[in-house]
Amino acid sequence: MPTTPTVSPLDAAHWTQNVAVTRSEHQQMPTAASSWSAPTSTSEAHRRAGGRRKYNSLRTFKADMRRTEVEKLFAEYGFARGAQARIARELGVNRSTISRDVQRLSGSNVKVCPECERPMSDRGWEQLEVDQSRRAHIVLAATRAMSKVA
């Protein structure tokens, strides 16, 4: 026969005082759809953007520091089998993170912006190529139009 768990009077009193949300309160809470569609003030949008910039800047800084540490550890351990896994364990990250760091550090598959000389993602590079081909078509069309006028 199953036994019912015993609850002390103190536990029962604590539980009844700390009930998180009753049904009537739950029905009054905004849903995700209604809160996403609510208008946002300009100052709030600016604060959110500033928060995202700060967060992304911090992540970039941490990644750069980790890559510096990865370089030092590879200099110490070499590129022997298992070195990436060992470094990943030591730094508390996934092996794929170390692989991406090694790829970034080695410069392979890194495309550089021809204007500002900063590294670009594949998506950014593709967009740049599309923009350049559009510019070429516009220039070609403009020169044809100019030659017809002259």
Same domain assignment for residues 96 and 77: yes
Higher pLDDT, 27 or 83: 83
What is the predicted pLDDT for the residue at 17? Answer: 52
Together in a domain, 116 and 60: no
Q: Burial code of 98-117, b = ≥16 C-beta within 10 A, e = fewer?
A: beebbebeeeeeeeeeeeee
Alpha-carbon gap, residue 130 to 28, rounded angstroms: 49
Q: Are residues 49 and 65 in the same domain?
A: yes
- Is 81 found in the same domain as 54? yes
The fraction of the chain above a pLDDT of 70, given in percent, is 65
147 and 126 in a common domain: yes
Does residue 116 share a domain with residue 71?
Answer: no
> Looking at the structure, do residues 103 and 65 belong to the same domain, yes or no?
yes
Give tens-digit pLDDT for 1-49.
Answer: 455 555 555 554 444 454 444 555 545 555 555 567 788 899 999 999 9
State the chain's mean pLDDT as an integer.
75
More confident: 34 or 78: 78
- State whether 80 and 99 are in the same domain: yes
**Residue predicted with more confidence, 142 or 19:** 142
Element (H, E) at 73: helix 42-77
Does residue 133 form part of some domain? yes
Helix (H, G, I), strand (E, B) or coil at 3: coil
Residue 77 structural domain:
44-109
Q: Which residue has the tokens 């350049």?
A: 132
- Statement to judge: residues 105 and 116 lie in one domain: no
17 is a domain residue: no
Give yes or no: residues 104 and 64 share one domain.
yes
Domains of the chain: total: 2
